Structure 1
Amino acid sequence: MKKGWPLWLAGTVGVLLPGAVAAQNNVYCFQANVLGTLAEFVIAAPTREGAQLATGAALAEIGRLDCVLSSYRPDSELCRLNLAREMQVSPDLFAVLSQAEELQKSSGGAFSARMGGVEALWRAADTRPPDAAALRRAVRSAQQQPFLDHASRVVGRPEGLVFSVDALAKGYIVDRALDAARGTGVPGGLMIDIGGDLRCHGSPGFQQSWHVGLADARLPFVNAPIVTQVKLGNQAIATSGRGVRDRIIGGTAYGTTLSPHSGMPVTAHLAASVVAPTAAQADSLATALLVMPPEQGLQLAAQSGAQARITQADGAVWTTADWADLEAGPSPQPLGRTAGLTSVADKLSLRPSGWVSDWALQVYYEAFIDLGNRASDYRSPYLVMWISDKAGRPVRTLIIIGKDPEYQRDNHIWWTLYGSRAQKMVEVRSGPTSLSGRYPTYWPGFDDSYSAVAPGEYLLNIETSRERGGHTFRSMPVTIGRKAFQYDIKPTADMGAIKLVFGKQP
């Protein structure tokens, strides 16, 4: 990784790596698609080889535990348990189930790892929510008490109860992956982030703590601005809530966190972020706090030795008493796929003159998956989307997919327009090249400096390139005025489907 620029890592949270690094270590960043999401590894080490060794050990541990804890792999140990009435399980699965049962008791039932049957009903829903009677039956089944024998690690499962440990397992996997990386002897700091569950160890080298940004929970877009930063040492953070993973059923968005009491998606809170000693604890507490009334949730977090921040549906924010001690203040760089400043978030709440209140241009990009081309030389494209005025002058870059500047230079139209700013924007704002994924972004009428722009004629530009050749460019006119619109851009061999919506933002 080049020195000199901050790096915001993509996801629910972003990690800020300021420019200078300690002389004895460089900072390396690696990415991988695991567990159906993006994993990012930031490692301070003397050599790239040492950082790669640590990352490889972490990935091996992630793969091992996926075979134990996955709800989606029919050959996983968890799925085998869900077919048995009684079974001796591995230490890892027993540890996760034990922690889940303990939190179910301490949270008054707000957390549950027995919701597999309820979750299955929601996953199967298409045009309307699950049948109310079926949902009640699934909730009653989930409220049955399993048997866990700590001496033998035997688990007894009542008929109809289906374990689902996702709300704790991802954090547990982060913890074990970090232990595996540390076991390689890497001397510097480590940070592992799997889909927003993040744990740090040591320090990055250039400062005493890791700075982690939290995105505005009110905006379900990957480029939502950061509203605050927290400082982490040997700690973890996880955020649960509404957002880009919401289920769309019959045209309505439903959150994926379900109340164990009713089986319905939670609606009172938009997001809960928890800082705790381990990622498993942060992950599970964040889920529980989404379900609980804010006062009770914050009390549970404090009693558990954690700090928490809850954003309610009306925008009100609740925090534990010592949360302010974690805050690092606004970022010095208002850039990044999820980056921004508290002041930027405030500015974005003020609509540009002439724009309809609460309207924005929304761009929904779904990454292209070439299922018929999985050859060894196939690479997903690097992609940039940006807004320009009708003369072609750049106004705002919306999203950058693919972090390596060497290949983003092949998006030569965008790179040339931005000149000396281009490499900085790639390093600071870039998201991953992904074989699959959804990237909902929005443009509320501000340029790259967060200055308001007037309504009028603009161009949405989409440019892609591949590591081993191939380049595409599209430019489509959009009229920002008082008339709403919606239309689709069909996918091509190098570019996924695009939906454009101008109107009231979610």
Structure 2
Amino acid sequence: MALISSVMGVGAALVAPVVEVADLSLARWGAEHVLGTSLDVVVASGGPAAAARAGAAVLEEIARLDRILSRWRPDSELALLNRRSHLRVSADLFAVVAKAEAWRRRTSGAFSSRLGGVPLEPGAAQSAAVRAAETAWVGMDAATGQIWRPEPVAFDLDGVAKGYILDRALWAARRAAPESTGFMLDLGGDIRIWSAAHRRQAWRLGVTDPTQAFDNAPPLQTIALRNGALAFSGRRARDGESAHILDPHCGRPAAGVLGVAAIAPIGADADALATALAAMAPEDGLGLLAQSKGFDGLLVASDGRLLTSVNWSGQSVQAQSVGSAWPKDFALTATIEIPPQAGGAYERPYVAVWITDSQKKVVKTLLILGREGRWRESNYIYWRRVERMDLASVAQIARTTRAPGRYEVVWDGRDDHGRPAPLGSYTLNVEASREHGGHSFVALPLLLGSAPANFQAEKAQELGVTRARFGPAR
């Protein structure tokens, strides 16, 4: 589950992590379609050249480990292990399986990588399959790198592999850009951070509220981190998709928590810890954290309770002190549709959503999907009016592109500077462009008064129906 966004220095963003680049000592490099998500590499000191070298090294390391650890590739080394009863494996695969088995023992089975062959549907047959996989003997010989896998077991290492990949990718970045004093790697919402001992400024991260459905909802808390890893899990997954987190004790979908943020010294442990906490009852998760020195976590329970470990140092985000000029509790909720496209290779569109007043002056930027600046320029209307004149602010709110689907953003009646906007005439602007695709722009007129109102614009090539509702916030 994507619960986090990342910001360097001051400020915070949400869901898809975003780094503020107003600090000129930072340089940023990013890529889409990396392990099915987006990659951000942020480098302190060294400049764009160091960021480019680090980014290339990170991509190379991720590609290497994907060939070893992916359960989605039939040609991966993991796939070969799952077809054999006995195999001498690479050091990387052995390390990840060993880490997964250690966390299985540590959590009394709440975390398990053995259920790759278990069907998702609950029932008696599944329970028997779960029991068979969980009680089977798995042999491991560290001296020779051999693993013995009994037939009931099919390893699914997704709950720990991404964190391990981030650990190795960080080392690749440090080797490629040794002059840099800090790195932040963000792979689809999981974070790995390193700072040199003499660098005093921490990386500040914003944890979003999983009970909020809006793609531009404010963060729930912020937390500062100099070194370590953060991983996130829960029932609400990235890009609006449902997460399939099973309780290994019964094989049924876990239902105790909405979302989890976990901190550990290394990514592999943070990844496993987040997965375990998402599968456990909230109170059991707190017990695990209390027994785990050096690990911390935040849990949002299914009933909305916010639970944290004793040493969790997150800070609640202060609400805006300036009131709105709109009727009490009113907000504008916009629904943006990204339609599926027929044909060849599909590239996710870059999308910009913003509000202008009756003089066509930009009042509020609500959403930017797509982090690579060279492609964001293809949304040339927004680029000419806003982005090229305020690169730092736009970079702070830009987040990963999204798969086809329906997404909601909310406007609370304040402009980009936090000042209340009066009632009156506005325009909701939505622009979308896609590599190997088209360009679409929708301008939906809005008349905001003292009564609720609904607005709608027709479909465009890269956009479905755009809707807006003005009235009491949900």
Please give the TM-score of this superposition, normalised by the length of structure 1. Answer: 0.77
Question: What's the CA shift for 1:269?
Answer: 1.0
Q: Is residue 275 of structure 1 aligned with residue 243 of structure 2?
A: no
Q: 1:112 to 1:476 in 2, by over 3 A?
A: same
1:171 aligned partner: 163
- What does residue 323 of structure 1 align with? 312
SS at match of 2:184: strand
Question: What corresponds to 1:139 in structure 2?
Answer: 130
1:323-342 aligned at under 5 Å gives the runs: 323-324=312-313, 327=314, 329=315, 341-342=317-318
Counterparts of 1:381 and 1:297, CA distance in 2:
38
Q: Distance in 2 between matches of 1:193 and 1:154?
A: 32
TM-aligned CA distance change 1:470 to 1:261, over 3 Å = closer
Deviation at 1:342, TM superposition (A): 3.7
Residues 1:314 and 2:303 are matched in the alignment? yes
Report what 1:105 is aligned to. Answer: 105
Distance 1:488 1:282 in 2: 44
What is the RMSD computed on CA atoms of the aligned residues? 4.0
Q: Where in structure 2 are the equivalents of 1:79-90 lying within 5 Å?
A: 79-90=79-90
Residue 418 (structure 1) shift:
5.1
Return the alpha-carbon distance in structure 2 between the equivalents of residues 110 and 373 of structure 1.
39
> Does the 8 A contact of 2:13 with 2:219 survive in 1?
no
Quote the Cα distance in structure 2 between the aligned partners of 1:54 and 1:42: 9
- Matched residue, 2:60: 60
Of 279-288 and 463-472, more deviation after overlay is shown by: 463-472
Report if aligned partners of 1:227, 1:342 keep a CA contact under 8 Å in 2. no
Match status 1:397 vs 2:401 = no
Aligned to 1:31, what secondary structure does the other structure show?
strand
Q: 1:76 to 1:386 in 2, by over 3 A?
A: same
User: Identity of aligned pairs, percent?
Assistant: 33
Distance 1:108 1:498 in 2: 49
Aligned residues: 460
Aligned residue in 2 for 1:298: 286
Deviation at 1:397, TM superposition (A): 2.4
- 1:223·1:442 contact (CA, 8 Å) conserved in 2? yes
Matched residue of 1:170: which SS? helix
Superposition pairs of residues 3-18 of structure 1, within 5 angstroms: 11-16=15-20
* 1:117 partner SS: coil
- State the TM-score, normalizing by the size of structure 2: 0.81
Structure 1: stretches of 5+ with no match in the other structure:
123-129, 249-253, 331-340
Distance 1:403 1:198, change over 3 A: closer
Residue 251 (structure 1) aligns with: none
State which of 227, 235, 244 in structure 1 corresponds to 2:228.
235
Q: Distance in 2 between matches of 1:488 and 1:361?
A: 14
SS class of match (1:396)? strand
Alignment partner, residue 204 of structure 2:
211
Matched to 2:395, the amino acid is: E
Contact 2:289 2:296 in 1 (8 A): yes
Residue from 319, 335, 343 that aligns with 1:363:
335
The residue number in structure 1 matching 2:4 is: none
Tell me, in whole angstroms, the C-alpha distance in 2 between the residues paired with 1:347 and 1:145: 60
2:386 maps to 1:425: no
Who is 1:284 aligned against?
A: 272
Equivalences for 1:356-505 in 2 at 5 Å?
A: 361-366=333-338, 371-372=343-344, 382-388=350-356, 394-403=362-371, 408=376, 411=379, 413-414=381-382, 422-432=390-400, 434=401, 436=403, 440-443=407-410, 445-449=412-416, 459-465=427-433, 471-476=439-444, 490=459, 492=461, 495-497=462-464, 500=467
Q: Distance in 2 between matches of 1:42 and 1:247?
A: 25
CA–CA distance in structure 2, aligned partners of residues 347 and 299 of structure 1:
40
